[in-house]
Amino acid sequence: MKSLQHPLFVICILLFCLNRALEQAQVYVWPLYAYLDDVLCMPLTLGIILTVQRVYFQNQSMTIPVRHIIFAVAAFSVCFELLLPLYKLLYTADVLDVVAYALGAFAFHHSMNKPLQAPAAIEQ
């Protein structure tokens, strides 16, 4: 569960909550409103996936392979930027959303997707 305590994950959760609070208050700041959720999506989603894998396999040094991260970006892009706008007029396809997913995935890979350090043994 230490993966969920990573500073990037905590910052992403706080930013997501702040962005939601602003939207609830009907305060729309353009770059935040349009792209912040998309940037935060990959670190949050992949961070939870990484935590589940580490708990399930009982392996704190496990990481997500780059090809799986790329697949996640592609899957979110296809689902939310290609398919969903075809079926719901409420949604629009935006190439910059794909860029935002990729930026979030890059941040996840270079920050969170590292093996956790085992606690140092107590020397006697």
Count CA atoms closer than 13 A to 21's CA, side-chain side: 6
Mean pLDDT, consecutive 10-residue stretches, the chain (124 aa), reads 89 95 90 92 97 95 97 97 93 94 98 81 52
Give the model's pLDDT for residue 79.
96
The full set of domain ranges for the chain reads: 2-112
* Predicted pLDDT of residue 115: 93
Residue 83, amino acid: L
What pTM value is reported for the model?
A: 0.88
pLDDT at residue 118, rounded to an integer: 63
pLDDT reported for residue 119: 57
Residues 6+ apart with CB under 8 A from 51: 1, 3, 4
